[in-house]
Amino acid sequence: MIPEEPFDRGLRDWFHAATERAPDHLLLAVVDQTPAVQPRRRWWYGVASLPAMPRAGALLAASAVVVLAAAFGLGRGLPGVGTAPATASPARPASVDITFFVNHRWADPGTVVSAGTFRAFGGVEDEGTFGDEIVLEPDVSYTVSRTLRGANGTIVAMMSIRSTIEQATSETVAGTFRIVSGTGAYAEISGNGTVRTGIGPRVDTWPTGTFPERWLGKIEGGTR
Amino acid sequence: MTTDLAERAIAGDHEAFSLVAARLVDRLYSMARLILRDSALAEDATQDALVRAWRDIRSVREPARLDAWVYRLLIRSCHAEQRRRRAWSTHVRPLDIDDTDQGRPTLASIHDAVDEVVNRDEIERGMARLTADQRAVLVLHYFLDLSVAEGAAALGVPDGTFKSRLFQARGALRAAIDADTRLGPGRRAEEIA
């Protein structure tokens, strides 16, 4: 008889080694696409509260639901991959790709000082320095207010990021950013996107150290 | 995932949902890659599952089971991708498990070898011979480390059904690896050619 454990252990190791980082544009596509999708209401609450109907009445009601569903729902489907939103926006947002080199260090207990340099391409073409104001949440999430100071003006964005320790040697810090204001050439700027931080295996030093961070998103009112 | 974050997402808070998506996206993509064995299909399935998750997020009754619910959506999306590309069975090959071949190692001796070391390449090739359904069950159990009850919940089937599918998938993988070992590198290359 074949002992089961070595095979299962080998299998588990193989599966665990198969963890891959999703392409950045994948999360961006989801964050970009979902605002156009309205979450559906919980329909069963209403159904559950209905009084018991006679069989004929129930059939009639079911038929009515089918007719209504056919009238309003058929052919609409899910706005899936590559499907355009129902309403086209008048101005097409431009893609933006910003790389940061972030320097984190502990100041006082519970306070992290974070600053560094950035370089932006796409809808914003600029480079300069930035500084963060970080609020550490109790559930390993962070709310960050980041001010980018470039040659053409300043941009203030809010980031919501979470740290996830998948295994002993890897950590993912990911989330979203939303531009809230700007000055100079960025006075009318708006936009949002995803944040990915490349901490890699240095889980023991987080959040102290220097590491790259990347924003991918869509903006309007940039320099191009 | 914190219950608070899940509750906010379920209530329709898009920012909270984005954080949930950011936290799950690597795991979902890895699952889809393992099930579909194709990067492009895996991307489509992951995106489809997350968009569906947002659309139906209010149907989640227990915030603590949000992850399992999203895994279930992903597996459905993987099935849909497979059907769409009409590739459901292209990787499935019948296995010839015969213990009487002359001049080749016996099945018993191969089992011993498998026990000593489960080669990564062998597992890779063995996985290629399974159906997407079988791969999905193995992914839930060995990749996500879900228990039988959790895996059953993720697939929406009774515990016994999940256990049975897991047993069959594991057996099929083992048979595939055994067959691969019996073929040896020369025969394997011939068969692939």
Lowest mean pLDDT segment, chosen from A27-31, A124-128, A152-156, B8-12? A27-31
* Length reported for chain A: 224
CB burial readout B103-135, b (16+ within 10 A) else e: ebeebeebbeebeeebbeebbebbbebbbbbbb
For residues A146 and A175, what is the distance between their CA atoms, to the nearest angstrom?
Answer: 14
Residue-level pLDDT at A28: 80
Peptide bond just before A207 cis, omega within 30 deg? yes
Closest CA to B54 of B24, B13, B25: B13
Q: Is A12 in contact with B145 (Cβ distance < 8 A)?
A: yes
HEC string for chain B: CCHHHHHHHHCCCHHHHHHHHHHHHHHHHHHHHHHHCCHHHHHHHHHHHHHHHHHCHHHCCCHHHHHHHHHHHHHHHHHHHHHHCCCCCCCCCCCCCCCCCCCCCCHHHHHHHHHHCCCHHHHHHHHHCCCHHHHHHHHHHHHCCCCHHHHHHHHCCCHHHHHHHHHHHHHHHHHHHHHHHHHHHHHHHHHHC
Partners of residue B111 in chain A, C-beta under 8 Å:
2
pLDDT tens sequence across B28-82: 999 999 999 889 999 999 999 999 999 999 989 888 889 889 999 999 999 888 8
Partners of residue A19 in chain B, C-beta under 8 Å:
26-27, 30
Q: How confident is the model at residue A200 (pLDDT cuts 50, 70, 90)?
A: low
Q: Is A172 in contact with B115 (Cβ distance < 8 A)?
A: no
Kindly state whether A175 is in contact with chain B, defined as any CB-CB distance less than 8 angstroms. yes
The answer for residues whose C-beta is within 8 angstroms of residue B139's C-beta and 6 or more apart is: A15, B31, B34, B35
- Enumerate residues 69 to 108 of chain B having a beta carbon within 8 A of any beta carbon in chain A: none
**Residue B19 distance to chain A (closest CA, Å):** 5
Name the residue in chain A with its Cα closest to that of B139: A15
Lowest mean pLDDT segment, chosen from A20-29, A206-215, B110-119, B174-183? B110-119
Here the ipTM equals: 0.73
The answer for residues whose C-beta is within 8 angstroms of residue A197's C-beta and 6 or more apart is: A102, A161, A173, A174, A211, A212, A213, A214
Q: Which residue has the higher pLDDT, A204 or A171?
A: A171
Is A202's pLDDT higher than 80?
A: no
Q: What is the pTM of this model?
A: 0.58
* CB-based contact B63:B3 (threshold 8 Å): yes
Kindly state whether A165 is in contact with chain B, defined as any CB-CB distance less than 8 angstroms. no
Mean pLDDT of A30-52: 63
